[in-house]
Structure 1
Amino acid sequence: MTEDPRNRIDIHGGNYGAFNVGGTTHGPMSGATFNQQGASADEVAALIALIDRLRGEIADAPVRKREVLEDSLDDLADDARRLQNPEEAAKVEPAAARRAWAKVKGLLTGVAQVTETVAGISGHVDQLFGG
């Protein structure tokens, strides 16, 4: 019988990571490098500064649902701050932060003077909460 290379599966390497079952990590990390995702103080400060800048830029602008907009910005800033504390960071739901930012962007549609700030915040949201 000849060996056809198209009919072969080659699995190699090692799995040094722990197993994640149902959202709970089990097992040691023997030999692996584990990178804790988190946010540096500088990253969080930059995002919060941009959120404050945005608030100033829209203070006199005619925006829809201002209260919803402000609440969403508050939620986003709170989630960013929580990323700095490992215990709190585990409770942050990245999808919720991304949804809050998407809501803000939707409410700011047509407000031309905030385009640069919105782009800056979008970059930080992607970096801190995943894109």
Structure 2
Amino acid sequence: MGKNISIDYTLLAIVGILILFGILMIATISAPLSLEKFGNTWYYLFHQIFLGLLPAILLGILFFKLSLSVLKKYAVALLSLNLVALILVFVPKIGLSIGGAYRWISLGPISFQPSEFLKISFL
């Protein structure tokens, strides 16, 4: 794309350390419950890596490669899509209630909070 990109390696290292710390916490805390419920000590860890970390890394690389002008071009559409997702939280069978609050959208094996994507859209 011909753009001059400088990478902040300090920030990248800090993010990497936080990710590794999070993976370590998931592995140690969820192992007994995972073994009890699924017969596999690493079920929750693999679930978080394959359905959380890998998609996040791929999306991060995609957005890193996109130029800012492309992101600005679709900013209004992304914001509108996120606002619709916030409304979908209240639609039965799409919105998921956890602890009595409807904040999640469930799409098969994946559940997410639209408010997290809205934060990115505002940036």
TM-score, length-scaled by structure 1: 0.29
Where is the strand percentage greater, Structure 1 or Structure 2?
2
TM-score, length-scaled by structure 2: 0.31
Structure with the bigger RCO (C-alpha within 8 Å, sep 6+) is 1
> Could you say which structure has the larger radius of gyration?
1
Where is the helix percentage greater, Structure 1 or Structure 2?
2
